[in-house]
């Protein structure tokens, strides 16, 4: 879903997605949708996740799963009540760069590795939402 139908349609056309929605309830009402992935700003993870579970769908919630223990336990309880999966998503585990690294390892391009240490990090400009306290960001 997107905030406007025009943005939703544009995104869907770019990526070959059959259906696009600007209204979450319309999407959640579809019986052929089994699961929803939530990648909204952090402060929306709990209400969005709860809404998805209450609609009877499985939910993958981008990290952080919740902002605090109370929210996390409420999502866990609702998932159990609905008999649905609620899980933290780890988008970085499926980023294309890891496919490249795996291929390099499989092809032996990097040689005979015995130890590999790596850190995942990203650069964000000071105005990025990750630093916006109103969106549950921090410094």
89 by DSSP, 3-state: which?
strand
Mean per-residue pLDDT for 43-72? 96
Catalytic residue among 63, 81, 84, 97: 63
Q: Is the pLDDT of residue 54 over 70?
A: yes
* Any domain includes 65: yes
Calculate the alpha carbon distances from 130 to 49, 105, 106, 123, 138 in Å: 19, 33, 35, 11, 7
Rg over CA atoms, the chain: 18
Residue 26 lies in a domain: no
Assess if residue 56 is contained within a domain: yes
Residue 76 located in a structural domain: yes
State residue 68's pLDDT score: 96
CA-based nearest residue to 1, from 75, 52, 66:
52
Q: What is the pLDDT of residue 113?
A: 87
- Known active-site residue 7: no
Is residue 25 pLDDT above 70, yes or no? yes
Does a structural domain hold residue 4? no
Alpha-carbon distance 57 to 24, whole Å?
13
Residue 67 has pLDDT above 90, yes or no: yes
User: Does residue 44 form part of some domain?
Assistant: yes
pLDDT in tens, 27-49: 999 999 999 999 999 999 999 99
This prediction has a pTM of 0.75
Confidence of residue 121 (pLDDT cuts 50, 70, 90): confident
Provide the CATH number for the domain around residue 75.
Answer: 3.40.50.720
Q: Would 12 be classed as within a structural domain?
A: no
3-state secondary structure at position 109: coil
In a domain, 22, yes or no: no
Q: Quick check: 94 pLDDT over 80?
A: no
Q: pLDDT band for 139, please (50, 70, 90 cuts).
A: low
Report whether pLDDT(24) > 80: yes
What residues make up the domain containing 125? 34-135
Q: Give the number of domains in the chain.
A: 1
């Amino acid at each position: 879903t997107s905030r406007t139908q025009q943005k939703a349609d544009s995104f869907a056309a770019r990526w070959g997605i059959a259906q696009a929605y600007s209204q979450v309830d319309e999407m959640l009402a579809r019986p052929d949708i089994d699961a929803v992935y939530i990648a909204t700003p952090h402060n929306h993870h709990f209400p969005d996740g709860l809404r998805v579970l209450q609609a009877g769908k499985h939910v993958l919630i981008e990290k952080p799963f919740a902002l605090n223990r109370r929210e996390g336990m409420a999502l866990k309880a609702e998932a159990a009540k609905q008999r649905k999966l609620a899980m933290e998503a780890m988008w970085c585990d499926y980023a294309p760069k890891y496919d490249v690294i795996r291929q390099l390892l499989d092809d032996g391009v990097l040689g005979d590795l015995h130890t590999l240490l790596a850190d995942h990090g990203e650069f964000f400009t000071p105005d990025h939402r990750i630093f916006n306290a109103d969106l549950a960001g921090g410094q």
